[in-house]
Structure 1
Amino acid sequence: MSHLLRTSRLFAWLFLTGLSVAVIVTSGFYLYLRPGLPPVHQLLDIKLQTPLRVYSKDNRLIAEFGEKRRAPITIEQIPTIQLQAFMAAEDSRFYEHFGVDIKGLARAAIELVSTGEIQSGGSTITMQVAKNYFLSRDRTFIRKFNEILLALQIERELDKNRILELYLNKIYLGNRAYGIAAAAQVYYNKPVSELSLAQMAMLAGLPKAPSAFNPLANPDRAMVRRNWILGRMQDLGYITPDARELAVSAPITASYNSTETEVDADYVAEMARSEMVRRFGEDAYTDGYTVTLTVDGRKQQVATEALRDGLEAYDRRHGFRGAIGQIDQETLATSELSDLILNYPRVESLLPAIVKEVDDEAGQVSVHVRRIGPAVMPFESMTWARRYRTENLTGPEPEKPSDVVSRGDVVYVRAQTPEKIALEPETGGTEPLVDETTRPQTATVTLAQIPRAEGALISLEAKTGAIEALSGGYSFGQSKYNRATQARRQPGSTFKPFLYLSALESGMTPATIYNDAPIVFDDSELETAWRPQNSSGQFYGPTRLREALYRSRNLVSIRLLRDLGIEKTLDYLKQLEIPTENMPDDLSLSLGSGQLTPMELARAMAVIANGGYDVEPYLIDTISDFRGETIYQAPKTILCDENCDELAEQAKSGMEEGDAGTDAESSERGDQSPDVRVMRRLADERAVFILHSMMQDVIRRGTGRRALALGRDDIAGKTGTTNEQKDTWFAGFNHEVATTAWVGFDQPAPLGRREFGASTALPIWLDYMKVALDGAPSSLMPRPNGIVNIRINPETGQRARPGEDGIFEVFREEDAPPPLTSETENDRNGGSEEDDLSRRIF
Structure 2
Amino acid sequence: MRLFRRLLRYTLILGFALFTLGAIGIGVVYWLIVPRLPPVDSLRDVTLQVPLRIYSADGKLMATYGETRRIPVKIEDVPQQVKNAFLAAEDANFYNHPGVDYQGILRAVGLMISKRTLHVPGGSTITQQVARDFFLSSEVSLSRKATEIFLSFKIENTLSKDQILELYLNKIFLGNRAYGVAAAAEFYYGKTLDQLDLAECAMLASLPKFPSTGNPLNNRARALERRRYVLQRMLDNDFIDEAQLKQADAEPERAFAHEPPIDIEAPYIAELVRQEAIQRLGNNALTDAYTIRTTIDSREQTAANDAVRAGLIAYDRRHGWRGPEAHVELASNATAAELERKLDPFRTTFGLVPAIVTQSAEKEAHLRLNDGQTIALGLEDIAWARRYQDETSRGPAPKRVDAALKPGDIVRVAQYTDSKKQGRWQLAQIPSVQGALVALDPEDGAVRAEVGGFSFARSKFNRAVQSQRNPGSSFKPLFYAAAFEHGFTPASVVNDAPVVFPDPSKPNGQWTPKNDDDVFSGPMRLREAMVQSKNLVSVRLLDAIGVRYAREFVTRFGLSLEQVPPNLSMALGTASVSPMNMARAFAVIANGGYLVDPYFVDAIYDRDGKEVYKAQPAQVCAQCPERASDDGRAGTPPPATRTVVDNNGVTTTKDTLSPIASAQATPAAPATTRLAPRALDARTAYLIGSLLRDVVRRGTGSGAMVLKRNDLFGKTGSTNDHRDGWFVGYNADLVAATWMGFDDFSSMGHIEFGAQTALPIWIDFMRVALDGMPEKPFNTPAGISTAQIDPETGLLAAPGSEHTISEVFRTEDLTRIANSPNQPTEAEKKVQQEAYGIF
Which residue is equivalent to 1:497? Answer: 477
Q: Distance in 2 between matches of 1:761 and 1:797?
A: 33
Provide closer, same or farther for how the CA distance between residues 191 and 748 of structure 1 changes in structure 2, counting only shifts above 3 A.
Answer: same
**Cα offsets for 1:627-671 (capped at 9, x unmatched):** 443332222433378979x99xxxxxxxxxxxxxxxx96888798
Cα drift, residue 152 of structure 1: 1.2
Question: In the alignment, residue 435 of structure 2 is paired with which amino acid?
Answer: G
Q: Do the aligned partners of residues 73 and 17 (structure 1) sit closer, same or farther apart at CA in structure 2, a change above 3 Å counting?
A: same
Is 1:478 aligned to residue 458 of structure 2? Answer: yes
Residue 79 of structure 1 pairs with residue 88 of structure 2: no
Aligned ranges 1:11-160 → 2 under 5 Å: 15-102=15-102, 105=105, 121-160=122-161
Alignment match, 1:807: 805
Counterpart position of 2:189: 188
Q: Provide the C-alpha distance between the structure 2 equivalents of 1:586 and 1:217, rounded to a whole number of angstroms.
A: 62
1:41-440 correspondence to structure 2 within 5 Å: 41-102=41-102, 105=105, 121-210=122-211, 214-216=215-217, 222-223=223-224, 225-226=226-227, 229-230=230-231, 232-233=233-234, 236=237, 238-239=239-240, 246-247=247-248, 250-280=251-281, 282-327=283-328, 331=331, 336-342=338-344, 346-360=348-362, 363-416=363-416
- Cα distance in structure 2, aligned partners of 1:110 and 1:220: 31
Task: Please give the per-residue CA displacement for 1:335-390, whole angstroms capped at 9, x wherever unaligned.
Answer: 84333344556554333433333332xx3222233344432112112222222222
Deviation (angstroms), 1:718: 0.4
1:640–1:680 Cα contact (<8 Å) kept: no
RMSD: 3.7
Partner AA of 2:389 in structure 1: R
Give the aligned residue type for 2:814.
A
C-alpha contact (below 8 Å) 2:544/2:831 kept by paired residues: no
Matching residue's letter, 1:448: A
Provide the secondary structure at the position in 2 that maps to 1:484.
Answer: coil
Partner of 1:702: 699
Kindly state the Cα deviation for residue 532 of structure 1 after the two structures are TM-superposed: 1.7
Deviates further, 32-41 or 727-736: 32-41
The 3 A distance-change label for structure 1 pair 26 and 806 is same
Give the aligned residue type for 2:194.
S
Change (3 A) 1:797 1:316: same
In structure 2, the CA distance between the partners of 1:299 and 1:372, relative to structure 1 (3 Å rule), is farther
1:92 & 1:612 partners in 2: Cα distance?
72
Is 1:572 the counterpart of 2:567? The answer is no
TM-fit CA distance, 1:4? 8.8
TM-score by length of 1: 0.86
Q: What SS does structure 1 have at the residue aligned with 2:133?
A: helix
CA contact 1:640–1:681 (8 Å) conserved in 2: no
Residues 319/5 of structure 1: CA separation in 2 closer, same or farther (3 Å cut):
closer
The 5-angstrom pairing of residues 612-631 of structure 1 reads: 612-631=593-612
- Amino acid in the other structure paired with 1:377: L
Change (3 A) 1:748 1:248: closer
C-alpha distance in 2, partners of 1:401/1:90? 60
Kindly tell me: are residues 747 and 383 of structure 1, through their superposed partners in 2, closer, same or farther at Cα, counting changes over 3 Å?
Answer: same
Q: Secondary structure at the match of 2:72?
A: coil
Rounded to whole Å, the distance in 2 between the matches of 1:209 and 1:681 is 64
Q: Any idea what SS the aligned residue of 1:414 has?
A: strand
Which of 574, 586, 604 does residue 567 from structure 2 map onto?
586
Structure 2 unaligned blocks of 5 or more: 631-656
TM superposition shift of 1:540: 1.5
Maintained 8 Å contact 2:474/2:573: yes
- Kindly provide the amino acid, as one letter, of the partner of residue 355 in structure 2: A
Measure the CA separation in 2 of the matches of 1:258 and 1:729: 35
Partner of 1:772: 769
Match of 1:692 among 686, 689, 696: 689
Against the structure 1 CA distance between its residues 170 and 380, is the aligned structure 2 distance closer, same or farther, given a 3 Å change threshold? same
Q: In percent, how many aligned pairs have the same letter?
A: 42
TM-fit CA distance, 1:717:
0.4
Alignment of 1:550 with 2:552, yes or no, is no
Change (3 A) 1:836 1:235: closer
TM-score by length of 2: 0.86
Q: Is the 8 A contact 2:437 2:738 kept in 1?
A: yes
3-state SS of paired residue (1:136):
coil
Contact 1:666 1:673 in 2 (8 A): no
CA contact (8 A) 1:517 1:539 kept: yes
Deviation at 1:179, TM superposition (A): 0.7
Note the alpha carbon deviations across 1:784-808, whole angstroms, 9 max, x for none: 2222222333223333333323222
Superposed displacement of residue 66, structure 1: 3.2
Instruction: For residue 638 of structure 1, give the secondary structure of its aligned residue in structure 2.
Output: coil
Worse-matched range after superposition: 597-606 or 38-47: 38-47
Cα distance in 2 for residues equivalent to 1:303 and 1:166: 43
The 3 A distance-change label for structure 1 pair 411 and 794 is same
| Residue identity matched to 2:549 | K
1:127-147 residue CA offsets vs partner (Å, 9 max, x unmatched) = 111011111222211111111
2:515 pairs with one of 534, 537, 550 = 534
Aligned to 1:515: 495
Paired letter, 2:703: R
Please tell me the residue identity of whatever aligns with 2:445: G
Give the whole-Å Cα distance in 1 for the aligned partners of 2:713 and 2:400. 45
- The structural deviation recorded for 1:36 is 3.2
Aligned pairs for 1:603-752 within 5 A:
603-639=584-620, 678-752=675-749
